[in-house]
A and B are shown apart, each in its own frame.
Chain A
Amino acid sequence: DAKTTQPNSMESNEEEPVHLPCNHSTISGTDYIHWYRQLPSQGPEYVIHGLTSNVNNRMASLAIAEDRKSSTLILHRATLRDAAVYYCILRDVNFGNEKLTFGTGTRLTIIP
């Protein structure tokens, strides 16, 4: 799987938007970009995924650069419950065994 690079940690104020960056300069044309997050003492949970176009769901938005070498997860209005480790993961749709390869992620701290 192609590698991703994320900042180790970020801080944001409560009720403000948060932009979590991810670099994936070696992404291939068949790699999907997935985001998962892990709240304290819980297993990871799916947040969003995309291929080329920007995506929105009830949890977040995913903005994908035109060259697909980077992406940004956007939390529109952070709450204390959004404090978690966020993982950006590439998955090859043609790989066949569907596994996720996690890095160390970005630890997001929300300041009240």
Chain B
Amino acid sequence: EAGVAQSPRYKIIEKRQSVAFWCNPISGHATLYWYQQILGQGPKLLIQFQNNGVVDDSQLPKDRFSAERLKGVDSTLKIQPAKLEDSAVYLCASSSNVPGTGTYEQYFGPGTRLTVT
């Protein structure tokens, strides 16, 4: 079974530039997540999609971050304009959760390491 794919793996940009990350979840997984992981910290959820609808984006800085999941499969996360504090690893995950049972797992991609200079 193919895992969660992400690209690019690394990206270096200057502050105020824009950047986009792409994620392809495991086939058939309805739920997709984007996390931000700052060095030395655990991942923090930015946005969660169920199919192509947003379930939770409470921690997404909406003035500069946007995400979409067209057709309920692939997803892109965009930052425009980037700030120095956006330097982090951006992780995509997917799951085929059974709501209300707690018996599910999230599968994570390798992440995209973003450096903003």
Contacts and interface: CB of A to CB of B under 8 A. Distances in A.
Interface string A72-112: 00000000000001010001111011111111110000000
Interface residues on B, range: 20 to 34
A101 B35 CA distance: 10
A43 B97 CA distance: 19
A57 to B, nearest CB: 11
Interface residues of A, number: 27
Nearest to B113: A41
B43 A96 contact: no
Given A87-B42, A102-B43, A46 B105 contact: yes
A43 B48 contact: no
Interface in B55-113: 55-56, 91, 93, 95, 97, 99-111
Given A43-B91, A43-B108, A96-B99, A101 B31 contact: no
Interface of B: 4, 31, 33, 40-45, 48, 55-56, 91, 93, 95, 97, 99-111
The 4 closest A-B pairs by CB, nearest first: A43-B108, A102-B42, A93-B102, A46-B105
